[in-house]
């Protein structure tokens, strides 16, 4: 099993970003989590 963490930093301007990430991960058969960090 391979595990990777990806951190995307910046101002998210696209409404529905988490849904976009979910759909992208699903299309590759990946498991995912998406969180907001205070900043």
pTM: 0.55
Q: What is the pLDDT of residue 15?
A: 79
* Structural domain boundaries, residue 6: 1-39
Residues across the chain: 39
Q: Which residue in the block uniquely carries the two structure tokens 């992208």?
A: 24
> How many domains would you assign to the chain?
1
Q: What is the pLDDT of residue 37?
A: 75
pLDDT tens digits for range 1-39: 788 888 877 776 767 888 888 898 899 888 877 777 776
- CB atoms < 10 A from the CB of 18, how many? 15
Q: What is the pLDDT of residue 3?
A: 85
């Amino acid at each position: 099993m391979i595990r990777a963490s990806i951190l995307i930093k910046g101002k998210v301007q696209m409404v529905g970003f988490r849904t976009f990430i979910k759909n992208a991960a699903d299309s590759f058969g990946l498991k995912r989590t998406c969180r907001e960090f205070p900043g």
